[in-house]
Amino acid sequence: MSNRSILAITYSSPTTFQGIEKLGVLSRAQLEMYVRKLAASVKAARALAESDLPVYPRKRSPRLPADAATRGKALQEWRNQKAETLAMDPGILCDKAVITIISAKNPDSIEALGAIEEMKNWQRDSLGPEIIYVLKQIPGKKPGRKKKKK
């Protein structure tokens, strides 16, 4: 059964064989195999109170300071070029979540990269020197330096 079929059934909410068949999204074999369970599931779902319906968790990423966002862009550009050179998918080389964490922490050494748990050892060992180089090329706050408190 395809996602399209499931979505069509979900949106129209038919509770009978005829209603599901009328949608035209299931083959005869699928109708024979699944229609009773589908109709029962739709009926049960329609009987639920609004407060009992599942809710997709909405989690927003924290906003990065401008300097971290600048580092993130630079790292993504570097990662994309590196991935192209290696004929790899950029997300496998270093995914966006890891780039965001590196951008926020702004490490100044391979050792500091090692403190980033989300980074794999092979990433730190093979990409670490280039990551630190990219971070040091960005104007503004230098890697590893904290703002002085007034």
Ordered by where they begin, the domains of the chain are 3-52 (no CATH), 66-137 (1.10.150.80)
Q: Share the mean pLDDT of the chain.
A: 88
Q: What is the DSSP string of 30-98?
A: HHHHHHHHHHHHHHHHHHS-GGGS------PPPPPPHHHHHHHHHHHHHHHHHHHHHT--HHHHS-HHH
pLDDT at 65: 84
pLDDT band at 101 (very low <50, low <70, confident <90, very high): very high
Model confidence over 43-63: pLDDT tens digits? Answer: 998 898 988 887 777 666 667
pLDDT at 50: 86
